[in-house]
Structures are given as C-alpha cells and as structure tokens.
C-alpha cells in the first residue's frame, strides 16, 4: 500500500479482523478513530460470541480501542439498517428471491452512512477489516479494487456495489495478510482479548439462522401452500410455502422420486415449487439488474470477464454484454444453481469490474 497518512475512521465490529486493522493503521502512522455501528437489537435473542451485532460487539471494540489508545464512537444506524437491509431481505424472500444482506449493508451502511460520518469527523479515509485491496492502477488510470492476498478469505464479492467515487478514500488494512492465522497472531502479540474470537457465520440479525421464522414474525403472517411439481407439471406433493425454498435445495422437499430432486425454480404466480434432477440446475446464461461498475471502461460492447454467481462459487469465463442497463452474461461452461436475488460479480484478472443482482 502506498504511503498516505491522515485521519481514518475504522469500522469496528468487535472481531479480530477489525481490531487488527486498528493495529496495522496505527503502525503505518495514521490517526485512527474507531466506530461501531449499532445496527440491530433483538431483545429475545441470546448473547453469542462472534456476531457483529451481538451485545458484546460494542464493548469488545471499546476495549480494543482503550488498549490501543484510540478514540471510539458508537453510531446508531438502526433506522438505515432496517430500511436498506432488513426490509430488503424480507421483501426479496417474499418475491421468491434469495438476497445477500452483506452486500446491501456494505453499499448503504459501511460505505454509505459510515462514509458520511467520516466526512463529518473530518477524516481523510474510511477503513474496514474486509479482505480486499484498493490501489491506484496505471493501466486504468484510477483507483481499483483487487482481490485479497488471502485467497480463501477474499471478500470482494460482497464489495462490488460500493460507490466507485469512494474507492480513493478506502483503506483495507488486511490487504496483504495471507490468511486468518496471521491476523490472529498479530492480535495475540498485542494481547487483544479478541485474538481467538470466533468468526460470525450467520446473518447477523438472524442469530438462530431460521430466516423463515424471522420473516413470519416480521410480517406476522403465514405463507400460502402449493404444489411441488416437475417441469412438465406432474404434481409430486405439497410445499409449506415458497419462502421455505431456494434454487439448488435438495433437503426438506418431502416428496418421493426414483432419483434425487432439487429445486430448479419458484413460480410465484402459480405458487409452485418446480423440481428436477441435478443436471437441470445448470445454465449457461443469466441476466442481472441494478449493476454497479467500479472501472471507467466502455462496456457498451461485449467484454470477456470471469464471473462468480455466488460467494463460494469458482470464477468462470464469460462474455458480458450490457443493454438497457441489463447485464447479459453467457458462460463458457454451465453454472450450477444460478439464483434470482443473488449477485453476479465480474472480474478482469484480479481487478473487480463490478456486478449486479441476478434476475
């Protein structure tokens, strides 16, 4: 990372990644201010270790800041989080789409509301504990986002939707770390109590991971039952409500068939769950909307990219064509379980081109 000193507002979740980010920034000579966004509070939930929205998150972040001798603020962002993340999450499932709330949170909260707070505090930069890189690329004559050195932890998939204009003001202090163990060792060296804190694995506002229960409670309603059918319309049984299912799902179908069946489509109009054999999950094309691009490139003509249709998917060669603000993507090889509501993210080598939401 190039030498550029100044004041940095660091997003701190109380976890080891953001805590070590504070150490790295201090070692580099920045004036660091830590801030934790209060996003969500469920009075019924049990306290748990590792969640970015847990009761202990703010206290853990404050303790780290006290130990490192830096200021810490708590920012109340519950209203914005409700609107941009939770409401979007619930509405997506109600419309047979499978959302990714982390992408919305990064776009509107961590690099939206949080960035505005940084400006108010007269900070020069914002920083988070994400595994990604920001650097100036002579090839493109602009700041770009690149994949992390820690390949297995790379989080650029979740970051494609942030405003391009903010890129020059972002620092990812963990950009050159090779793996999580390296991060934990630095935390141990500084005697941080979060050195061995577990990573959060679930959606932060659904600690028991039961999203159906959460949505039913939020909407205070039940969902219509309907038929589980094959592509040709053959009825195999009844489903519990479309909200219980997503493309690629195998477990919990409750129907018998000579071969394993998977959800291949949800038909909201007919209230049907369409199922088929695994080979029916593979597609070579998709369309995406609400696209955001981080590079100033002419994308009016077809462009060769690699693309990911979900976070854990491997990058695959594809041709991207933009038409009327819709991305048309044709893959060299069929991709498994392309799912409406998820994001497709485009790369040029290790540089993030952009992405959009799968239709």
- Show which residues are catalytic: 105, 204
Q: Do the Cβ atoms of 337 and 323 come closer than 8 Å?
A: no
Q: What are φ and ψ of residue 80, in 5° steps?
A: -65, -40
Q: Find all residues with CB under 8 Å of 191, minimum gap 6, and list them.
A: 67
Q: Counting beta carbons within 10 angstroms of the beta carbon of residue 68, is it exposed (0 to 12), middle (13 to 18) or buried (19 or more)?
A: middle
- CA atoms of 141 and 139, how far apart (whole Å): 6
Of the candidates 337, 357, 346, the residue with the CA atom closest to the CA atom of residue 101? 357
> Helix, strand, or coil here: 304?
strand
> Helix, strand, or coil here: 264?
strand
- CA atoms of 231 and 249, how far apart (whole Å): 16
H/E/C letters for each residue in 312-324?
Answer: CCCCEEEEEEEEC
Q: Give 45-113 as a DSSP string.
A: SPP-SS-TTSHHHHHHHHHHHHHHT-EEEEEE-HHHHIIIIIHHHHHHHHTT----HHHHHIIIIIIII
The DSSP bridge pattern shows strands 343-348 and 226-230 to be unpaired
> Helix, strand, or coil here: 138?
coil
Let me know how long the chain is: 359
> b vs e for 200-238, b when ≥16 Cβ sit within 10 Å of the residue's Cβ?
beebbbbbeeebeebbbeeeeeebeebbbbbeeeeebee
Q: Do the Cβ atoms of 100 and 84 come closer than 8 Å?
A: no
């Amino acid at each position: 990372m190039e030498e550029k000193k100044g004041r940095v507002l660091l997003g701190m979740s109380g976890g080891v990644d953001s805590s070590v980010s504070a150490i790295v920034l201090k070692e580099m000579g920045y004036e660091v201010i830590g801030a934790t966004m209060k996003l969500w509070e469920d009075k019924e939930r049990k306290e748990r270790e590792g969640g970015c929205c847990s009761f202990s998150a703010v206290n853990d972040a404050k303790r780290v800041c006290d130990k490192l001798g830096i200021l810490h603020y708590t920012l109340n962002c519950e209203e914005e989080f409700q609107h941009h993340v939770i409401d979007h999450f619930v509405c997506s499932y109600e419309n047979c789409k499978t959302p990714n709330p982390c992408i919305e949170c990064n776009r509107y909260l961590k690099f939206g509301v949080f960035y505005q707070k940084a400006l108010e505090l007269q900070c020069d930069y914002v920083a988070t504990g994400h595994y990604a890189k920001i650097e100036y690329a002579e090839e493109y004559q602009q700041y770009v986002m690149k994949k992390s050195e820690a390949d297995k932890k790379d989080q650029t998939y979740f970051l494609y939707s942030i405003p391009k204009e903010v890129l020059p003001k972002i620092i990812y202090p963990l950009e050159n770390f090779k793996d999580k163990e390296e991060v934990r060792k630095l935390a141990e060296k500084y005697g941080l109590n979060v050195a061995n804190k577990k990573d959060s694995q679930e959606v932060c506002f659904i600690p028991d991971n039961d999203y159906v229960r959460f949505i039913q409670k939020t909407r205070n309603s039940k969902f219509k039952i309907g038929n589980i059918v094959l592509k040709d319309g053959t009825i195999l049984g009844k489903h519990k409500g479309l909200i219980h299912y997503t493309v690629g799902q195998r477990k919990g179908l409750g129907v018998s068939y000579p071969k394993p069946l998977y959800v291949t489509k949800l038909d909201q109009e007919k209230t049907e769950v369409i199922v088929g054999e695994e080979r029916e999950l593979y597609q070579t094309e998709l369309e995406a909307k609400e696209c955001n691009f981080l590079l100033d490139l002419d994308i009016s003509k077809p462009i060769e990219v690699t693309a990911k249709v979900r976070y854990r998917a491997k990058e695959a060669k594809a041709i991207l064509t933009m038409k009327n603000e819709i991305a048309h993507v044709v893959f060299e090889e069929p991709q498994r379980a392309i799912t409406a509501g998820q994001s497709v993210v485009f790369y040029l080598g290790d540089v993030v081109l952009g992405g959009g939401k799968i239709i």
